[in-house]
Amino acid sequence: GLFKEITCERTLLGEPLPKNLVILGACNPQRRKNPKATFDNDIGIKKDRYETQRLAHIVGSISLLYTVVSIPETMLEYVCDYGYLDPETETKY
């Protein structure tokens, strides 16, 4: 796709990008919701457990904290893992 062309091939619609243009990106890992949050999102809406489980089976991502689109396979060679923050440090941020 277009994003892969810009970040990996340094072109836009086949035209070279300027040498002084720096491209940065970030990839987010999948994070699961707390199981209680799947059924009760603390805004006064209780979801039917059966319906939630049925949707989870169909969609497969209802238990994720946020939507993560998988990175294209052609971009995997550009991924660097910098680790993660421990819970205490993350709370400070």
pTM flag (> 0.75):
no
Q: Given a cut of 80, is residue 76 above it in pLDDT?
A: yes
pLDDT tens figures, 12-51: 999 999 999 998 888 777 777 666 555 555 555 555 555 5
User: Do 5 and 12 touch, CB atoms closer than 8 A?
Assistant: yes
Spans of all domains in the chain = 1-28+71-82, 32-65
- Write down the residue that tokens 């998988």 correspond to: 70
- Say how many Å lie between the first and final Cα of the chain, rounded: 34
pLDDT-derived band of residue 79, with 50, 70 and 90 as boundaries?
Answer: confident
